[in-house]
């Protein structure tokens, strides 16, 4: 018997609601709604359009229920670190976008209280200037911290609006910097040292837990004949994506590649060495208590922001044709550091790349195709370096690299990663996050059983990745 569930998958540039079908040796997904997710700039900064996002989520769930009246459940995942502050259940303002530039001073202030070395020992996270704990320091100036009664990360906020139940799912909560890396619970000592309100953080739940049932008012609005259960999944989108890696051997590294490129391995225990901290690798929560030991690389944001720059100048950009032209570029390609923080915020990306290359005495691309080739090769270089480093720091032998997500469709990137790493690359599935979301829901309800390895075997049977061997 095949069961249907709905996966709400919210990315940093777009969202989707997918129907997932699971049965004995059966797994498939298909979209019922896709929608853009663009930030909105107001005089006080860059924000997420969270109300429009929620409208699209509910409309997508309504479409899923119309197509599958017996829909068994739904689950929500999204990007990490961003949040809403609430008082008495009311949101105090639109959530800030992590690419907003408001956090610069907060890092220094935070580290004056708890050093970067102490923070790593406490939370195991790589330094990123937009981690939640730095964002919360900024909230002191307008006095919102003292006024708020709860904090909800983006997928927890969506779940709260759907069910009225307030929880924090562990995989995403782990990215706040406020969860104890050894216990998996809120770090009360750290929260106190940072002078954050103790009651701000809701109870933690794990993937597979029930969040609650859809509020009757929403069910009625969407025309649902029966209440729909909402299940906590790996609400950090990478946590769900890692569930759906079609690995058939334990010696693999993964790259969940979209706006960001998350390069890592899966571990049973965190790596908290000084070498790991200095290499800026992170230990984030995974499904079933696993550790996602990884490094954030800037990702296809570099390409998409370059395309936006060219389009703003009046050019018409055909990305498929541009990638083909980039593949045909001959000769040596200049590389830049894809992890340079100057590339984090929105703006003229080709100009910033040219600036970096000039500063380092390297030739600047002269055409859009050359810029694209430069971006792809630089990303592949950063990916390959991260794979080598994660293997050294974790002690895991890596025999193959799995690339999942939107970047798995970029043949030039996949081949370049294979060439520079010297390892075979298996690309796909594209919708790994939604698939992982579906599988966690399905296992929670008994539609499938087994360990993460068993779930991955099901993915490998249902979705055949494309293989790229290194060309030496």
pTM, 2 dp: 0.96
Tokens standing for 301? Answer: 């944001």
What pLDDT score does 332 carry?
87
Query: Are 98 and 177 in contact, with CB atoms under 8 Å apart?
Result: no
74-83 residue pLDDT tens: 999 999 999 9
Q: For residues 11 and 394, what is the distance between their CA atoms, to the nearest angstrom?
A: 29
Residues noted as catalytic: 237
Q: Position of tokens 């106190």?
A: 192
- CA atoms within 13 Å, Cβ hemisphere of 306: 26
Q: For residues 413 and 433, what is the distance between their CA atoms, to the nearest angstrom?
A: 20
* CATH architecture designation of domain 247-428: 2-Layer Sandwich (3.30)
Tokens standing for 370? Answer: 């050359």
Q: For residues 84 and 156, what is the distance between their CA atoms, to the nearest angstrom?
A: 10
366-406 residue pLDDT tens: 999 999 999 999 999 999 999 999 999 999 999 999 999 99
What pLDDT score does 142 carry?
83
Q: Which of 444, 361, 399 is nearest to 169 (CA)?
A: 444
Q: For residues 465 and 411, what is the distance between their CA atoms, to the nearest angstrom?
A: 12
Domain boundaries, the chain: 3-231, 247-428
Q: How many CB atoms lie within 10 A of CB 345?
A: 13
Same fold across 3-231 and 247-428: yes
Query: Are 200 and 264 in contact, with CB atoms under 8 Å apart?
Result: no
| Bridge partners of residue 468, in order along the sequence | 425
**pLDDT tens digits for the chain (472 residues)?**
899 999 999 999 999 999 999 987 889 999 999 999 999 999 999 999 999 999 999 999 999 999 999 999 999 999 999 999 999 999 999 999 999 988 888 999 999 999 999 999 999 999 999 999 999 999 988 888 989 999 999 999 999 999 999 999 999 999 999 999 999 999 999 999 999 998 999 999 999 999 999 999 999 998 887 789 999 999 999 999 999 999 999 999 999 999 999 999 999 999 999 999 999 999 999 999 999 999 999 999 999 999 999 999 999 999 999 999 999 999 889 999 999 999 999 999 999 999 999 999 999 999 999 999 999 999 999 999 999 999 999 999 999 999 999 999 999 999 999 999 999 999 999 999 999 999 999 999 999 999 999 999 999 999 999 999 999 7
CATH superfamily of 3-231: ATPase, nucleotide binding domain (3.30.420.40)
Q: For residues 329 and 372, what is the distance between their CA atoms, to the nearest angstrom?
A: 10
């Amino acid at each position: 018997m095949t069961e249907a569930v709905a996966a709400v998958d919210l990315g940093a540039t777009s969202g989707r609601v997918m129907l997932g079908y699971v049965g004995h040796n059966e797994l498939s997904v298909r979209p019922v709604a896709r929608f853009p997710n663009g930030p909105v700039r107001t005089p006080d900064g860059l924000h997420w359009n969270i109300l429009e996002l929620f409208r699209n989520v509910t409309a997508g769930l309504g479409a899923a229920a119309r197509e599958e009246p017996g829909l068994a459940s739904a689950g929500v995942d999204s990007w990490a670190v961003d949040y809403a502050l609430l008082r008495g259940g009311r949101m105090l303002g639109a959530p800030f976008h992590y690419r907003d530039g408001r956090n610069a001073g907060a890092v220094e202030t935070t580290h004056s209280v708890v050093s970067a070395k102490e923070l790593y020992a406490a939370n195991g996270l790589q330094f990123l200037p937009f981690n939640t704990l730095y964002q919360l320091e900024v909230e002191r100036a307008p006095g919102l911290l003292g006024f708020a009664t709860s904090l909800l990360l983006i997928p927890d906020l969506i779940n709260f609006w759907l069910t009225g139940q307030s929880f924090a799912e562990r995989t995403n909560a782990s990215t706040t910097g406020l969860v104890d890396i050894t216990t998996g619970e809120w770090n009360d000592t750290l929260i106190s040292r940072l002078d954050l309100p103790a009651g701000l953080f809701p109870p933690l739940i794990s993937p597979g837990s029930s969040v609650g049932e859809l509020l009757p008012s929403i069910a009625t609005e969407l025309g649902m004949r029966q209440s729909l259960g909402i299940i906590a999944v790996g609400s950090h989108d990478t946590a769900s994506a890692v569930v759906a890696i079609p690995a058939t051997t334990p010696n693999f590294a993964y790259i969940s590649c979209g706006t960001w490129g998350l390069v890592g391995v899966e571990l049973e225990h965190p790596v908290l060495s000084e070498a790991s901290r200095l290499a800026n690798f992170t230990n984030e929560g995974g499904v079933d208590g696993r550790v996602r030991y990884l490094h954030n690389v800037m990702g296809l944001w570099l390409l998409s922001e370059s395309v936006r720059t060219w389009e703003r100048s009046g050019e018409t950009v055909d990305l498929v044709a541009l990638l083909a032209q980039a593949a045909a570029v001959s000769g040596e390609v200049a590389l830049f550091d894809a992890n340079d923080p100057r590339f984090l915020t929105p703006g003229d990306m080709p100009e910033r790349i040219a600036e970096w290359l000039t500063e380092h005495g390297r030739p600047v691309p002269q055409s859009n195709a050359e810029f694209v080739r430069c971006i792809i090769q630089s990303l592949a270089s950063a990916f390959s370096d991260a794979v080598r480093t994660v293997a050294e720091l974790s002690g895991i032998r890596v025999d193959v690299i799995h690339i999942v997500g939107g970047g798995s469709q970029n043949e030039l990137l996949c081949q370049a990663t294979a060439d520079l790493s010297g390892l075979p690359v298996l690309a796909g599935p594209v919708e790994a996050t939604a698939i992982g979301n579906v599988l966690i829901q399905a296992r929670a309800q008994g539609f499938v059983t087994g360990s993460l390895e068993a779930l991955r075997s099901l993915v490998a049977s249902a979705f055949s990745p494309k293989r790229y061997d290194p060309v030496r």
